[in-house]
Each structure stands twice: as C-alpha cells, then as structure tokens.
Amino acid sequence: MIDVKARKVVALAGGVGGAKLALGLQLALSPGNLTVIVNTGDDFEHFGLAISPDVDTVCYTLAGKVDIEKGWGLQGESWNVLTALKALSAPTWFQLGDRDLATHMERTRLLQAGWSLSQITEHFCRLWGVSSHVLPMSDQPFRTLIRTQAGELLAFQEYFVREHCEPSVAEIIFQHAEGISPAPQVLSSIEAADLVVICPSNPWVSIDPILALTGIVPALKMKPVIAVSPIIQGKTVKGPAAKMAQELGLEASAAAVLGHYTDFVNGFIYDQLDGDIFTSDNYPGIIKKTTNTIMKNDEDKLGLAIETLKLGERLLENTQNND
C-alpha cells in the first residue's frame, strides 16, 4: 500500500478555516506534496494597496507566522500605522498591522511592475519558507459582492469586516466572473493530484468563486474529491456561512453543504457532533465519515488531515477497483 504521505493533494480554501486544514495537510504530507488553491474573491484595494486576505491567511498559516488567536494577520504584530491613521480620522475598520502592511506594499509594487499575483505569492512563499505550493485561484480580478436585503451593494470586506456580517444577505454576486480563467498551474495541479480536498471554508463565498472559474468543475469531476463541512450542529466555528445559508433560504446544516457539492464530490467529512444525520438513501454514491472537525490546535488540524487522507485512500481503492 502506498504511503499516504506520498500522495499529491490539492486543497481548495478560503481564509481561516481553510488555512487550518491546509496546515494539517502540510503536516501530514511529504514537503511539496500539497497545493492550495485560494479564493481571491475577497481581495480589494485599501489605501491604494492590493490586499489578498485569504491568500495571506493561507501563506501566513503555512509559514507558521499567523496570529493564532485571530486566525489572520501576523503574530506579534504592532499597530503604529493604524493608530496614526486613526489620529488622522482615516478609515480604520480594516485592521492592517505594521508588518502585514509590508506584504501589501510589496505586493502592490510588484503588481505595478508587471508581476502576476501567482508569481508574487510564489516569491513570498519561498522567502517565508513555505514548503507547499499556494496558488491564488486567478490572476485576473474577481470580486465577490454582497447585495443586502436592504438593497445595498457591498464589497465583500465591507460586508464581512466593516459591517460585521450583520446585514441580511439577499444575493451573492461574482462581479465580472464570466470567462475568468484560473491562474497558471491551477488546472494542471488538479490534473496531477491524487486527491482534491475542499476545506471547511464557506461554500457560498469562499469555495464557489473557485468553482465559478472556467474548467474547474470539469477538472474536479475527473478526480476523487472530499469536502469537509464547515457547518457543525447548524453553526460555524467562525464566519457567516450558517447565517448566510438561512438568509439565502437554505438549511444551515452539513447536509446542505453536501447538497451544494453533490455534483462532484465522492467523499464527505462532517463533525461527529452531528451524529447520524444521513440515512442510506441520502446521496448513496458519496462516502460519508464523521470525525472531530473542530481545529483548536495543530494536533486537531493534523488529526482531521489524517482522517481526510484515510478517506482519500478508500476513494482511490474504489476508483482502482472500478477501472
């Protein structure tokens, strides 16, 4: 039997929850065998700087630099610039730490010099000693907008950070999404993977932008794919996925998450606290597994990654038996 460490795995991820499982997978696999494709629908410009929050959250986490408490930003950060901006009555709702600002400044400078977001991310990851490959989902601008039930149109970070996810969501809009291509290496990394893992990120605003890109869903249909539910007992550990589901008229449950991915997943992991929510009639072709999906520390992250890889081995055996 092949050593699971030797498997090539592609993970699709958004921010904090996705980054945690990505770290677990990085710990479980041989160096270089993990590729993380990251949502860029949350990207925006602030103070003229190009900010890629989910890409940075994944890179900082894989580099062991992330602020563990917040799940984003850098450990041991200082806030001198933000404090000075506040004194100037500048908008400070989006917290940019001093050292994090250096990332955004250098990314902006390199973009202006003609580098792509993928090239910049690879360059930063090399400097930060990240052994995995981190690919922004696209090098073309893709913006997630939220139309609120009050009729307002908000950029994603305005909804998420400035408004604390409080407005009720009427519609999620992917601006200019049609015809946007995945970044170089995104499709080829899926083609080369033994297994694809959809991290426990928000399906509607973190994973759907990746799935909306040309060629992604057809590429996933060719591979064993496991999704991990971010919804546990009708709630999320962090972020608005459960609240959003209800506002969009969906059920806030792990079953609704599986229903969302049913066209292309072969395996599904949901939390042990949800017990037996599926009967044998629900999605019979998809292998379901319960385990602890709450990732409080690195042991939990590694544990969930190992359970995911073990389910991956079952899916791979099934594929070989059907060949």
In the complex, minimum distance from the CB of residue 118 to ligand FO1, in angstroms, rounded to a whole number? 17
For ligand FO1, give the closer residue by CB, 193 or 205: 205
Longest dimension (CA), the chain: 66
For ligand FO1, give the closer residue by CB, 29 or 197: 197
87: how many CB neighbours lie within 10 A of its CB?
Answer: 9
Please state at what angle helix 53-62 crosses helix 16-28, rounded to 10 degrees.
30
In the complex, minimum distance from the CB of residue 73 to ligand FO1, in angstroms, rounded to a whole number? 6
For ligand FO1, give the closer residue by CB, 209 or 267: 209
For ligand FO1, give the closer residue by CB, 26 or 206: 206
Within the chain, residue ranges assigned H as helices are 16-28, 53-62, 80-87, 98-112, 117-128, 156-157, 186-192, 208-211, 216-220, 241-247, 254-261, 298-322
In the complex, minimum distance from the CB of residue 124 to ligand FO1, in angstroms, rounded to a whole number? 12
Contact residues for ligand FO1, defined by CB under 6 A: 14-16, 42, 53-54, 56-57, 72-73, 94-96, 100, 157, 160-161, 206
**Residue 199 and residue 226 in contact, taking contact as beta carbons nearer than 8 Å:** no
Which residue(s) pair with 154 in the sheet? Answer: 146
Q: Which residue is nearest to ligand FO1 (CB)?
A: 15
For ligand FO1, give the closer residue by CB, 24 or 73: 73
Which residue(s) pair with 11 in the sheet? Answer: 36, 197
Alpha-carbon distance 144 to 58, whole Å?
A: 19
For ligand FO1, give the closer residue by CB, 79 or 283: 79
Q: To 10 degrees, the CA torsion angle through 13, 15, 16, 19?
A: 40
In the complex, minimum distance from the CB of residue 144 to ligand FO1, in angstroms, rounded to a whole number? 9
In the complex, minimum distance from the CB of residue 178 to ligand FO1, in angstroms, rounded to a whole number? 23
In the complex, minimum distance from the CB of residue 35 to ligand FO1, in angstroms, rounded to a whole number? 19
